[in-house]
Structure 1
């Protein structure tokens, strides 16, 4: 069902890699900040997470490392995310949880990057999140119309040109 034709420019790929490098350097701090905010804003989500915040932060770093390593092969990211979505489905993660999660993730990453978070960085990260979100939607939506509606909603939410 995929309709995505998202591509990243060389400059956007470099921006994503810079986010990843900064993330690795400060992973404990930003991971803690992210999950503290997530649970403060969405307390119902805390019960979905097993283990401590540091473990969750490391899992998120692992996903972003996967993304940074496959920027030239976005279809591989989609395949990995579908497998991740299946595991999350078993943990009772609802489709409506993903966009608030992504929105907060982008916000925390932008804050952590400070003035290194440029318009190019923002657009590149939104594109990556859209590719990931589209894979989740494809995995969870079984009708073509529901899929298209959910993808369009994600596209608008992430401000991705279509």
Structure 2
């Protein structure tokens, strides 16, 4: 990712952060509509889960200039998600719901460049998490 991509992602996220719980709830609503099987993975109140999502994204985006730290964070997340029952196919549903939420929430601010940057970031994050989930399954 280029420094410009990182700056664009952080700028987009700052705009969303003002409506963070609303935006995260919109994400989960979209995810559960397009991939209903994912609803069973969440045992807590969705607003509480929304707060966790925003907190995790805040930390991850702060670590974009620290690849080793970000990889460590994503590895732990991938291992935990595997334990929660998250399957590889869920990552595609999350990607789609995330991009839809960004487009819906940001409107014209979600440019083609922003979509490409977020897509690249998500794909990198998901790849790391998936690899960690597979590795944790093998060692179990």
TM over 0.5, yes or no?
yes
TM superposition score normalised by structure 2: 0.87
Unmatched runs of 5 consecutive residues or more in structure 1 = 1-7, 143-162
Deviation at 1:62, TM superposition (A): 1.4
Deviation at 1:140, TM superposition (A): 3.3
For 1:104, the equivalent position in structure 2 comes to: 97
Unmatched runs of 5 consecutive residues or more in structure 2 = 136-140
Q: What is the aligned counterpart of 1:123 among 103, 116, 136?
A: 116
Higher relative contact order (CA 8 A, sep 6+): 2
Deviation at 1:89, TM superposition (A): 1.2
How many residue pairs match? The answer is: 135
TM superposition score normalised by structure 1: 0.77
Q: Give, in whole Å, the separation in 1 of the partners of 2:39 and 2:132.
A: 23
8 Å Cα contact 1:23/1:61 also seen in 2: no
Matches within 5 A, 1:1-162: 8-141=1-134
Structure 1 stretches of at least 4 aligned residues deviating more than 3 Å after TM superposition: none
Higher helix share: 2
Offset from partner CA, 1:91-136 (integer Å, 9 cap, x none): 1111211111112111111211111111221121112112111102
